[in-house]
Amino acid sequence: MRFRHAGNLYGLELEDPTTADKELYQAMLDALIDGKWKGDRDDWKTVLTDNQWRNVAVEKGQCSGNRCSNFSNCCFFRSRNNMQKADCIVANHDLVLADLALGGGVILPPPEDCIYIFDEAHHLPLKGVSHFSHFIRLRATMTWLDRITAIFKGVTVELGNDAELVTQLDKARKAAEQTRAVLQQHLPMFQAFSDRAESANAKGDVTQFTFDQGVVPDELREVSNNIMGEFRELDDRLKLIAERLKDCMENDLGDIDRQTAENWYPVFGIMQARAEGGIQLWRSFAIEDHAGFAPHARWLTYRPQGNEDEITVSSSPVLAADALIEYLWQDCFAAVLTSATLTAMGSFDFLSMRAGLHEDTFYRQISSPFDFVNRASLHLPKAGFDPSRTQEHTQAIIDALPSLVDENQGNLVLFSSRRQMQDVLQGLPETLQFRILSQDDHAKQELIRLHKERVDKGETSIIFGLASLTEGIDLPGGYCTHVIIAKIPFSVPNDPVEATLGDWVKAQGRNPFMEISVPEASMRLIQASGRLLRTESDAGRITILDERLLKKHYGKGIIGSLPPYRQEILLAGSQPAASTTEALT
């Protein structure tokens, strides 16, 4: 591991490390030398921030491979070499998808040589979407182009002995200047859509404009194609510079010493990666989607920055199906998908549609060992909790919570909205507030530690959390005897990807609410309620403060998709009234 000081990059990407960070990096180096750490971020003894990790890691384009003087000691290549000898490789979804996005077989073995087993596979479609999404910030990109133009001039002075490199640096500088000029020229066209943008956050200061079904006007597509051409020219120049630096590292040409070339190679790798990202984004805006296939979502986001707006141009597939078919399913030897929530509304159809599973896929639903009927009860209100009336719903939760909380036990309260979570917290009596641990105030692991500490002392503890706490946490026994869910976790209505997918489904004469929104909410609700029973000896109750489950036509289907909990009606005053399952269904 070699720490790369930000000064060497003329402030291009990295930040100067703090004294504490320098001590951290020295500890990392010592652990590597002593063989106590293998360089894996997840295996380090403390949580590393992105900024801390960025200073000691490289990404695609920055790594010079076997040309690097530290190649024999590289953690990545050591691990990859060992991996080639392994019969079983444990990797997370992100690593698998990152490898597939690079073409497959770059980091991990080629898909055709693999049998994949995806645990928690309900995440795969959404993660697949994010890995094939692209965005670019226009003003930040123009600032970056100004910066690298200055870097080209500085590098020319330092590497002026190599005539070929000097020529390419001059061409790259001109390409960067031209790219910036074209972005500046067309900035007003992107700004013009702000008049039709809608609020994108609770404060209302961030707005976004989503193109209907991802269709970009012809004029904007033409402009995007022109901008893509400029980024491609810049990328070509950066590739030639990188190749020249590789030659200097490998062949010791004499014009530039190996160490100098090695120091500069990652800098141009960063530039090239950013230019390639620009090409991908602008290509997406320049092309038309194929008729009959799910479109890409395309949208513009406006965020205040001084006296101007920072404009983010974004593109994303609305389904991971096509990408997973192309890069994974048609190439892999075999694949097994497993999770507690692969079905939605009692069917695998939603997963199949999102993930693009082959028509010959074999499905099986395995019964749970948990005694849901005798170990857990589900409490639902008939009235008084209507999420469509936001303020009244929030107040109803505030009024109900004091009597719902299990005393001297662990309680988990889950919200779909951060704003509602904060409003409920502020509206509760102070005596109850002191018992609450909010996800906004503590890191996840610290939150769980404090919660368990309280419960172990025989105290009442209440966790307030959002979507990230609906899975991946285990609070067995008394650590969680009551899961309270504020409302059915439907997707945010202004999410550009979901909105574009919904519009596309609707245009085909289908019902996006019943085909997408309800099944997705059903899966999320299963995950959230699943926080209660973590072992076969656990017991407790689940309360969902949403009257739509009993009043709306889709409510019966959502209830039916949940495990067969013993069901009870929550009466006024938040007191449950015993009821048979048949009475509710």
Distance in angstroms (rounded) separating the CA atoms of residues 583 and 289: 49
DSSP labels for 288-301? PPPTTS--EEEEEE
Distance in angstroms (rounded) separating the CA atoms of residues 572 and 539: 24
CA-wise closest residue to 223 among 281, 192, 182, 181: 182
pLDDT at 60: 60
Count CB atoms within 10 A of the CB of residue 501. 25
CA-wise closest residue to 200 among 208, 209, 192: 208
In the sheet that holds 134-137, the strands lie side by side as 134-137, 308-317, 296-305, 207-210, 198-199
Q: What is the CA radius of gyration of the chain?
A: 27
Helix axes 418-427 and 390-404, enclosed angle (nearest 10):
60
Residue 4 near residue 266 (C-beta atoms within 8 A):
yes
Distance in angstroms (rounded) separating the CA atoms of residues 30 and 522: 49
Q: Where are the alpha helices (DSSP H) in 203-337?
A: 218-251, 258-286, 321-324
Residue 520 near residue 554 (C-beta atoms within 8 A):
no
pLDDT per residue as tens digits for the range 203-239: 778 999 999 999 999 999 999 999 999 999 999 999 9
Residue 365 near residue 343 (C-beta atoms within 8 A):
yes
Tokens read off for 11: 């402030």
Distance in angstroms (rounded) separating the CA atoms of residues 159 and 253: 13
Going by the DSSP 8-state scheme, the letter that residue 553 receives in this structure is T
Own/partner contacts of 445-452, CB < 8 Å, gap of 24 or more, are 445/47, 448/473, 448/475, 451/410, 451/475, 451/479, 452/410, 452/479
Distance in angstroms (rounded) separating the CA atoms of residues 423 and 416: 13
Residue 238 near residue 271 (C-beta atoms within 8 A):
yes
Distance in angstroms (rounded) separating the CA atoms of residues 570 and 583: 13
312 DSSP β-pair partners: 137, 301
299 DSSP β-pair partners: 210, 314
Q: Where are the beta strands (DSSP E) in 74-129?
A: 115-119
Own/partner contacts of 232-235, CB < 8 Å, gap of 24 or more, are 232/279, 233/175, 233/178, 233/179, 234/172, 234/175, 234/176, 234/179, 234/275, 235/272, 235/275, 235/276, 235/279
pLDDT per residue as tens digits for the range 16-31: 567 778 888 888 888 8
Residue 463 near residue 519 (C-beta atoms within 8 A):
no
Residue 341 near residue 523 (C-beta atoms within 8 A):
yes
pLDDT at 585: 38
Residue 451 near residue 457 (C-beta atoms within 8 A):
no
Going by the DSSP 8-state scheme, the letter that residue 13 receives in this structure is S
Kindly give the confidence (pLDDT) of every residue in the chain, 585 residues in length, as a single tens digit, with 9 standing for 90 and above.
Answer: 443 433 344 444 445 567 778 888 888 888 887 788 878 777 787 777 877 877 777 666 666 665 666 666 677 767 777 777 788 988 889 989 988 888 888 888 899 999 999 999 999 998 999 888 999 999 999 999 999 998 898 888 877 678 888 899 999 999 999 999 999 999 999 999 999 999 887 677 899 999 999 999 999 999 999 999 999 999 999 999 988 888 887 766 557 777 888 888 888 988 999 999 999 999 999 999 988 889 999 999 999 998 899 999 999 999 999 889 999 999 999 999 999 889 988 899 999 999 999 888 999 999 888 999 999 999 999 999 999 999 999 999 999 999 999 999 999 999 999 999 999 999 999 999 999 999 988 888 899 999 999 999 999 999 999 998 998 789 999 999 999 999 999 988 789 999 999 999 999 999 999 999 999 999 999 999 999 999 999 999 999 999 999 999 999 999 999 999 999 998 755 555 443 333 343
157 DSSP β-pair partners: none
Distance in angstroms (rounded) separating the CA atoms of residues 27 and 20: 11
Q: How many residues does the chain have?
A: 585
Phi first, then psi: what are they for 71, rounded to 5°?
Answer: -55, -45
Prediction pTM value? 0.81
Residue 37 near residue 44 (C-beta atoms within 8 A):
yes
pLDDT at 3: 39
Residue written as tokens 């109900």?
400
CA-wise closest residue to 412 among 486, 484, 475, 488: 484
SS (H, E, C) 152-217: HHHHHHHCCCCHHHHHHHHHHHHHHHHHHHHHHHHHHHHHHHHHHCEECCCCCCCEEEECHHHCCC
Residue 566 CA: distances (Å) to CA of 292, 371, 411, 530, 580 = 45, 10, 19, 14, 7
pLDDT at 576: 52
Distance in angstroms (rounded) separating the CA atoms of residues 71 and 341: 43
All domains in the chain, ordered by first residue: 6-131 (no CATH), 134-317 (no CATH), 372-584 (3.40.50.300)
One-letter identity of residue 449: R
